[in-house]
Amino acid sequence: MNRFHQQLIAGLPGAERIGEGLRDYHDKRHTIGSCLVRMARRRLARAGFLEASTEHDIHAELDLYHLLSSEGKQAHSRYNALIRELVSFEHALDHRLRNPSCQDAESAIG
């Protein structure tokens, strides 16, 4: 991920997990983060993080749930929490892309 993309997602909900997921996705690793990236692929492509794709990855959500289940602890509640975090990330990213001046203000504060 280049510096521009790092700055673009800095401070967004779940930014660290998505950053790790992008690295895993590019390295073709099957992780929780890469599943989240696959689920958000369209939005991440619009923001320039990934190549544009018109295909919807119908297996990403199931793969995420299976990974969580294999870890054994409260897969359902963890899955729901990760989905909420992803939705928050996507909304915040969309907001930041629509309002680039907000990013400048946030970086001046932080």
Please report the DSSP string for the chain in residue order. Answer: --HHHHHHHTTSTTHHHHHHHHHHHHTT---HHHHHHHHTHHHHHHTTSS-------TTHHHHHHHHHHHH-S-HHHHHHHHHHHHHHHHHHHHHHHH-HHHHHHHHHH-
Say if pTM beats, i.e. exceeds, 0.75: yes
Sequential pLDDT tens for the chain (110 residues): 788 889 999 999 999 999 999 999 999 999 999 999 999 999 999 899 998 876 778 899 999 999 999 998 899 999 999 999 999 999 999 999 998 775 544 444 34
